[in-house]
Amino acid sequence: MAARESQIVLGLDPDPGALWPDAEPTPRRGSPAERAARAVLGHCRTLIDAAGEACVAVKLQLACFERLGAAGRAALEDVAAHAKARDLLVIADGKRGDIPVSASAYAQALIGGATTPFGRVEGLGADLVTVNPLLGREAIDPFLTAARASGAGVLVLVRSSNPGAADVEDLLLEGGDALWERVAAIVDELGRAGVGAQGISDVGAVMGATAPAHLERARELMPRTPFLLPGVGAQGGRVEELAAAFAPGRAGGLVSASRSIAAAHETLGGGPAAAARAEAERLREAAWALSEQVGAAS
Amino acid sequence: MAARESQIVLGLDPDPGALWPDAEPTPRRGSPAERAARAVLGHCRTLIDAAGEACVAVKLQLACFERLGAAGRAALEDVAAHAKARDLLVIADGKRGDIPVSASAYAQALIGGATTPFGRVEGLGADLVTVNPLLGREAIDPFLTAARASGAGVLVLVRSSNPGAADVEDLLLEGGDALWERVAAIVDELGRAGVGAQGISDVGAVMGATAPAHLERARELMPRTPFLLPGVGAQGGRVEELAAAFAPGRAGGLVSASRSIAAAHETLGGGPAAAARAEAERLREAAWALSEQVGAAS
């Protein structure tokens, strides 16, 4: 973050029907899935090359790759490798949550890899993975164990960016806390053993940028937790409202934008690459300046 | 169910390090992932052929296939096709949960498929998918829409089978309900529009078989909801404790067992195939008899 003066995460959730027109030419041969996956890979590489310099990470929405089957999984790995080659962290956004034996298998898929009688099968090599906490601490633990063995981190879904999140996440518990606040307490507790030299823990929280009213409370409950803040742009979140994220320091918030960068040309005009670069740079400047103000005030 | 007199679901969560010794020979060429995926496919096909006749469905634990990358996804599709060829329903157990646009992409991956400029990309073609409700109704809706368009169904995670489920799912809300009870009310509501001729709805609930004390309460809250009951066998659940599931009829419960069938030879002795068949048949008889008793009593 310091080297790039950026907290911006480039969200990659490619829709085969809305790829950049100037992406690499798509091969005419192959199955629909193979051709779509190649086109998605070309789109993501071009987008990373256009906007990546203003960012610190990419966030791969696993659903968008999974709908292209085996070819989609291969494209996912190639996109992750391309991002790493551009010195970007890779966030695998799958929000997995299952009983411990299955959570361990997901952690193998996304972080470390699996040792089998047929040889070592490497995982995606993600630097951060998003995890769903509904099944409790023991469903998070396998990800945390794998992450700590690989120098990676875990981002637990605490309050999502969709309007309907209120249905369950905002339910009030006995005693008056919202459910998401109780999850926040679990995240804080799990992260205490992983606070690094910067004073930031290795267990993060997904806190939708569309609910800034929750951010200050979240920061009280999770003082050293890095926040992944999705929902900036197309979903309505604004960088200017995210100050509480940066209270523990500049690394306290990762600001994720997807469609607002990839589709910036629709509002800014010009070519997709130039518009994406401009929008990512605008977000970078806004977030960096905000984090500077928060640092100066504290 | 009626034709097979069975409510048993064969859980497939293959571990490349614990495959049946008599499965198909593994090719010597290919990457570790390709070889492991081929071995997993052989194991699953052999297991389906051995125990499938006593079952109505297979439950594919997606995590176990995902850890083998693109080769694992290809194997997943081949296992699903093999199960369908044996007249078994396919349950895709991924417990996905995300904002609506991403949930739609997961539904494309697992149920219907995606229409792209490169042609139609078919999904896994699952008959049932498990879904995580933490993000609210609108995160379930895209699965339900896709399922209803394909004659498929959705199984919402209500109370999972792991001991640590109590951390979040059992939290008490204002008014005294547990969180899982509120989720149950959502499931009941979503399923009202999809009650079929048998009086069973197309929105099911995952109710861990390891917490039978919750089952009666769950049946009160969800009178027409089919229950998927994982955790029988290795996780400690017993068929005899599942009577409440069958209150709305014999199709009210799907009893899922994984390791207890695949590893039956470790306790029963004999070859893996014969032991798996015997254990699946034992479970089938126990569940069918139980559902008959419940029907006679009601």
pLDDT of B206 over the 80 cut: yes
Question: What value does the mean pLDDT take over residues B140-160?
Answer: 96
Question: What value does the mean pLDDT take over residues B86-94?
Answer: 98
Interface check for A36 against chain B (CB to CB < 8 A): the answer is: yes
Residue of B59, B108, B155, B168 to mutate, testing the A interface (most A Cβ within 10 Å of its Cβ): B168
pLDDT band at A117 (very low <50, low <70, confident <90, very high): very high
- Average model confidence (pLDDT) across chain A: 94
Q: Out of A43, A45, A95, A265, which one is annotated catalytic? A: A95
Q: Is B86 among the domain residues?
A: yes
Residue of A13, A116, A131, A141 to mutate, testing the B interface (most B Cβ within 10 Å of its Cβ): A116
Interface check for A26 against chain B (CB to CB < 8 A): the answer is: yes
Distance from CA of B1 to the nearest CA of A (A): 27
Length of chain B: 298
Flag if B66 and A105 touch (Cβ within 8 Å).
yes
pLDDT of A23 over the 70 cut: no
The tens digit of pLDDT for each residue in A167-219 reads 999 999 999 999 999 999 999 999 999 898 889 999 999 999 888 889 999 99
pLDDT of A108 over the 90 cut: yes
Flag if A119 and B35 touch (Cβ within 8 Å).
yes
Distance from CA of A223 to the nearest CA of B (A): 21
The tens digit of pLDDT for each residue in B237-294 reads 899 999 999 999 999 999 999 999 999 999 999 999 999 999 999 999 999 999 999 9
Chain A's closest residue to B166, CA to CA, is: A136
Q: In chain A, pLDDT over 70 holds for what percent of residues?
A: 99
Cβ-based neighbour number of residue B213 at 10 Å: 7
Helices (H), chain A: 32-51, 62-66, 69-85, 100-110, 137-150, 179-191, 213-221, 259-262, 264-268, 272-297
pLDDT at A231: 86
Q: Is B2 among the domain residues?
A: no
Chain A's closest residue to B30, CA to CA, is: A118
- Mean pLDDT lowest among A86-100, B14-28, B67-81: B14-28
Task: Give me the half-sphere count of Cα atoms (radius 13 Å) on the Cβ side of residue B146.
Answer: 29
A142 within 8 A of A134, measured Cβ to Cβ: no
pLDDT of B204 over the 90 cut: yes
Length of chain A: 298
Q: Is A3 among the domain residues?
A: no
Interface check for A85 against chain B (CB to CB < 8 A): the answer is: no
Please state the domain count of chain A: 1
Q: Is A66 among the domain residues?
A: yes
pLDDT band at B127 (very low <50, low <70, confident <90, very high): very high
Smallest Cα–Cα separation from B44: which of B7, B18, B67, B70?
B18
Q: Is position A95 annotated as part of the catalytic site?
A: yes
pLDDT at B26: 74
pLDDT at B77: 98
pLDDT of B51 over the 90 cut: yes
pLDDT at B22: 62
pLDDT of A25 over the 80 cut: no
pLDDT at A233: 83
Q: Out of B95, B219, B277, B284, which one is annotated catalytic? A: B95
Q: Is A2 among the domain residues?
A: no
Interface check for A120 against chain B (CB to CB < 8 A): the answer is: yes
Flag if A176 and B179 touch (Cβ within 8 Å).
no
Dihedral of the alpha carbons of B79, B263, B9, A115, in degrees to the nearest 10: -40
pLDDT of B24 over the 80 cut: no
Domain with residue A167: its CATH number is 3.20.20.70
Q: Is A1 among the domain residues?
A: no
Distance from CA of B84 to the nearest CA of A (A): 18
pLDDT of A236 over the 90 cut: no
- Average model confidence (pLDDT) across chain B: 94
Interface check for B157 against chain A (CB to CB < 8 A): the answer is: yes
pLDDT of A293 over the 70 cut: yes
pLDDT band at A145 (very low <50, low <70, confident <90, very high): very high
Question: What value does the mean pLDDT take over residues B219-234?
Answer: 93
pLDDT of A162 over the 90 cut: no
Domain that holds residue A25: 8-297
Question: What value does the mean pLDDT take over residues A94-110?
Answer: 97
pLDDT of B171 over the 90 cut: yes
Residues of A in contact with B73 (CB under 8 A): 66, 69-70, 72-73
Chain B's closest residue to A163, CA to CA, is: B138
Q: Is B1 among the domain residues?
A: no
Interface check for A269 against chain B (CB to CB < 8 A): the answer is: no
The tens digit of pLDDT for each residue in B176-195 reads 999 999 999 999 999 999 89
Task: Give me the half-sphere count of Cα atoms (radius 13 Å) on the Cβ side of residue B266.
Answer: 10
Question: What value does the mean pLDDT take over residues B156-161?
Answer: 94
Residues of A in contact with B139 (CB under 8 A): 162, 164
The residue among B22 and B231 whose pLDDT is bigger is B231
Q: Is B254 among the domain residues?
A: yes
